[in-house]
Amino acid sequence: MLHSAILKDKLIGATHMPAEVMQYVFKQRWLQIWVPQQYCGLGLSFKEGLKVLKNLAQTDGSLGWMVTLCAGANYFSRNLKPETAFELFQKSTTCFGGSGMIGGTAERKDNEYFINGIWRFATGAPHLSHFTLNAIVIENGQKVLDEKGNELIRSFIIPQHQVKIIADWKAMGMRATGTYSFEIHNIAVSEKYSFIYNEFFTDSSLDKIPFRIFADLTLLVNYFGMAFHFGEEALKLRPSLDLTFFLRTIKEREEKVYGFADEIEKILCNTLEIGIEKQKEIHQFGEISVKELSCKIIELYTQLGIRASHTDNSVHQIFCDYFTASQHANFRPVY
């Protein structure tokens, strides 16, 4: 069994996810934390899954981020028809991932869709068994409109061998996540491998969590994990630093997240809805937390000396990973 310290050692300076690490990820089925047990997934509760993601991010930023986004894509197992989901997720190596953007078209002919386009960026691309994407549906050369007169958008699942991966990730951090763009040219997809993201074929509290809350909390625990890891490594460079308050604050905010998760599941188990005010409260908590953590990490980084800037130093890697992740649109401030 690979322990946290060994995983950290294997990922220092890594520009890709080592095969041994990926084998362990598959063995633990971390990519299937949100896949229901009826489809052979772990079927964890919201809080249990968040704890897994936080611990992985504290081990390594790229590892936590990749598992978070790929496990988030595997959440779409709930949107597939049961026979399709069961067929796909019997394998521990089944891993969805892709792009949330609308990057192409799906031409509808009979019971098939012909997919064309380019999508950016798919985290974990080299390790995905299937790529997920959103496309505009067209028929007879015309865009299909929904009942409200808007362009009809459907989501699709494409096997990796039918996808061209474009290795174009040039960010300073998250280098081992394998976050690449991908292109598809005139690939036919059966109706059973398409889905609508807010239509579910399972029945659990996780199905009813608003996407905004799901995204906020799964990403937020990554920032907490990386920030705590930064503090741990900073102390190795400067043992005289007093980081008691910094590390305690992270732990307190982490517990606040788990409190939100318990509250949400309790509300949903009682067949109630999550109100807009609760969604705003959680998002604002995330925005404030990330902003304050970012400022504190920069302040600490300037006190660590030249060794912290060496590209083979773990503090440098965590710093780059954290601030690459901070550019995700979810919590990025807009002025």
CATH number for the region 97-195 comes to 2.40.110.10
**Pairwise CA distance, residues 314 & 317, whole Å:** 5
Residue-level pLDDT at 2: 61
Q: What is the pLDDT of residues 54-80, one digit of tens each?
A: 999 999 999 999 999 999 999 999 999
Q: What is the pLDDT of residues 270-305, one digit of tens each?
A: 878 899 999 999 999 999 999 999 999 999 999 999
Q: Where are the domains positioned within the chain?
A: 4-89, 97-195, 209-325
Residue-level pLDDT at 255: 98
Q: What share of residues in the chain are helix, strand, coil (percent, to 5)? A: 55, 20, 30
Cα of 152 vs its chain's centroid, Å:
25
List the chain residues with pLDDT less than 50.
1
Predicted structure pTM score: 0.95
Looking at 238-275, list the stretches that DSSP marks H as alpha helix, in order from N- to C-terminal side: 244-269
CATH number for the region 209-325 comes to 1.20.140
Q: How far is CA 142 from CA 103, 193, 263, 331, in A?
A: 17, 22, 46, 36
Residue-level pLDDT at 160: 97
Contact 184, 104 (CB under 8 A): yes
**Pairwise CA distance, residues 130 & 155, whole Å:** 12
Structure tokens at 17: 């996810």
Contact 85, 39 (CB under 8 A): yes
